[in-house]
Structure 1
Amino acid sequence: MSKELSYTIEEVSQLLKVSKLTIYDLIKKGELPVFRVGRQMRMDAKDLETYINQHKTIPSQVPVQRKESKDSHHLVISGQDMVLDILGKHIEKYSTYKTLRSYTGSLTSLISMYNGECDIVSVHMFDGDTGEYNLPYIKKILVGYPYILINLISRKAGLYVQQGNPLGITAWTDLQQEHLTIINREKGSGARILLDEQLRIHQLSSKNIKGYAHEETSHLSVASAVSTGLADVGVGIEKAAKIVGIDFVPLITERYDLVILKTPENEQTIRLVKEILSSSLFQSEITSIGDYDLSQTGTILYETF
């Protein structure tokens, strides 16, 4: 029997950033399935991911015309990191806005912004030619749009490996080993871009990477696949490795930034986000989570005029 990842109730509450009482209530209502090991309730990782997917907000479900109504106060924030949930909470606390979350990848989200479907886009896209994050892509995609680029946090990115790193994986070039199986992220995600750029830089062909076509749609699901032995290695961020309980090989510090279009309708949004990111309350809350670098948080990295 293949190993299946499962979580305790406390771990689920930490993953979803809610109280254990909320989790117990969802279990009682039958929304979250559990099983028992002795006296302990546990939840299968696949069931948790199914629940999350069922409650996601997809950009196409949000009317593009919402900004034309003066009564509309919804902001769509794209990206998967839990820091964005905290940002959304602060936005709702200090304004009349209601935040909607779109859990799509960086490149996909940026294209959604170009099409008028996102208000705040989070990006972490590595450009192998310049060694820079985000701006090379933004300049090409948001052609003709005025925008501002603000740093949210920085974080370590690299490779998920099984506990003890039994295969001795330490570098991008190790991915070409014949006995090694990877698990990939979906097209349009920042992690997928990072992998593809590293393969290009190191002149490695994806055709020689076993498992390259096998995709998952979140850092947590990739880390879980490595944990359960479905793959030997995956690309992602440090936080997910610690949550799942596997080892992590840090290979790069990535900048995780926010993009907002500079329009008259967005003046209040930009001002609000800048104030929140610079506030000690927001920063202390992020610091308490751990594994994030806030040295540039709130810094305006680029702005069109």
Structure 2
Amino acid sequence: MSEETSYTAEEVAALLKISKLKVYDLLNKGELPSYRVGKQKRIDSSDLEAYKQRSKGASFAPAKQPLSAPDAQPIMYTSPDAGAVRDRTLIITGQDVSLDILARHLERRVPDRRPLRSYASSMDSLVSMYRGEADIVSVHLLDGDSGTYNTPYVRKLFVGQSYVVVHLLKRSAGLYVKKGNPRKLTSWADLAQADLRFANREKGSGARVLLDEQLRLHGVKTAGLPGYEEEMSNHLAVASKVASGEADIGVGSEKAARLVGGVDFVPLIQEQVDLVMLKKADNRPWIDGVIGILRSETFRNELLHMEGYDLSRTGDILYES
């Protein structure tokens, strides 16, 4: 296959003889890299070939994949000139739809770079940046002791490095409960109720850190909690588990609750989503471009049409080392 060829999700589904939903699942998990052209996701033939080789068990390096510390593997590229490919890309991590919009704006604002989306969790995203495998990392990690988001984790990991933390947005987070809230769950303290069945996110995700911090602060031991060890990769899966009656409670964002029938949402915290970028000489032009996009009226107007976002401080520099 030619490296210049790219495919739509529908074409990949036909080539691999799998369902389109399966292709989107691979894209969302980062197992099959993609980039956006207008409103359409495209998959390069080299990335598709790399995925096929990995599926066959061949020793073929993935183009990029979600990272899970401490067993994370370096992101590799299949192009013969891997260094040149990496230099042309900007890898943006995180699952919020605002990052897809940011990637689209970057295509126009920084035309010499190609934005690529990775759907890794907050903690895995920071690890990938530490290893030089991500450029624009989105994080929403609560530090329960200080009550602040993100900077405590960033400062501990990037000791001695120069970086900038820029605010993206705030969004409501809290509890997913069965329609009508039969267990009367209204606060973090209710996590201590007996016999609650949990729907949980994967380790390293912002929702998992939020749950774990609240369990710790309220003296609830995780050992033996029904459903706690079963992990799901996104908010929709957690909300759906609660809606189906397989779980009594889950933690996530309000946006997902609106998309799932049979579930109510109990707002408990304004979750802060920030972007982290390393300050290097070659990065400065596109970092300025990212900040300019976040502060632009065009970008904000696109997000204003999506309910649940607080954009009052979007584009503010929160910390700079």
Asked if Structure 1 and Structure 2 have the same fold, meaning a TM-score greater than 0.5 normalized by the shorter chain, the answer is: yes
Q: Structure 1 CA distance, aligned partners of 2:108 and 2:23?
A: 31
Distance in structure 2 (CA, Å) of the matches to 1:258 and 1:55: 23
Structure 1 SS opposite 2:116: strand
1:287 is matched with: 304
SS in 2 for 1:113: helix
Query: Which among 242, 257, 282 is matched to residue 274 of structure 2?
Result: 257
Paired residue secondary structure (1:296): coil
Read off the aligned partner of 1:165 and give its amino acid letter.
Answer: N
Q: Which runs of 5+ in 1 are unaligned?
A: 1-21, 34-42
2:192 to 176, 189, 193: 176
Distance in 2 between the 1:31 and 1:51 partners?
A: 13
Distance 1:183 1:201 in 2: 19
TM-score normalized with structure 2 length: 0.77
Shift, 1:241, TM fit? 0.7
Give the unaligned 5+ runs of structure 2: 1-7, 34-63, 67-73
> Amino acid of the residue matched to residue 87 of structure 1?
L
C-alpha distance after superposition, 1:128-184 (max 9, x if no partner)? 111110011100001121000000000011111121112111112222323320011
SS at match of 1:72: helix
Q: Are 1:205 and 2:221 an aligned pair?
A: yes
Q: Which residue of 1 aligns with 2:65?
A: 58
CA distance in 1, matches of 2:175, 2:23: 25
Corresponding position of 1:152: 168
Query: Within 2, Cα distance between the matches of 1:161 and 1:71?
Result: 43
Among 238, 241, 252, the alignment partner of 1:222 is 238
Deviates more, 1:57-66 or 1:235-244: 57-66
Root mean square deviation, CA, Å:
2.7
Indicate conservation of the 8 Å contact 2:167/2:313, yes or no.
Answer: yes
Q: Distance in 2 between matches of 1:212 and 1:234?
A: 10
Supply the distance in 2 between the matched residues of 1:212 and 1:70 (Cα, whole angstroms). Answer: 40
Change (3 A) 1:193 1:84: same
In structure 2, the CA distance between the partners of 1:67 and 1:28, relative to structure 1 (3 Å rule), is: closer
Please tell me whether residue 278 in structure 1 is matched to residue 295 in structure 2. yes
Q: What is the one-letter code of the residue matched to 1:217?
A: S
Per-residue CA distance 1:223-264 (angstroms, 9 max, x = gap): 121122221111110001111132111111111000000001
User: Tell me, what secondary structure is at the counterpart of 2:265?
Assistant: strand
Shift of 1:67: 9.1
Quick check: 1:64–1:117 contact (8 Å CA) kept in 2? no
What one-letter code is carried by the residue in structure 1 that aligns with 2:308?
D
Q: Does 1:112 align with 2:128?
A: yes
Question: Post-superposition shift, 1:70?
Answer: 8.7
What does 1:188-199 align with in structure 2 at a 5 Å threshold? 188-199=204-215
SS at match of 2:209: helix
Which moved further from structure 2: 256-265 or 180-189? 180-189
Which residue does the alignment assign to 2:283?
266
Tell me the secondary structure at the aligned position of residue 206 of structure 1: coil
- Structure 1 partner of 2:88: 73
1:131 aligns with 2:108: no
Identity %: 47
Tell me the distance in 2 between the aligned counterparts of 1:48 and 1:113.
25
Separation in 2, partners of 1:234, 1:68: 42
Paired residues, number: 272
Given residue 138 of structure 2, which amino acid in structure 1 is its aligned partner?
S
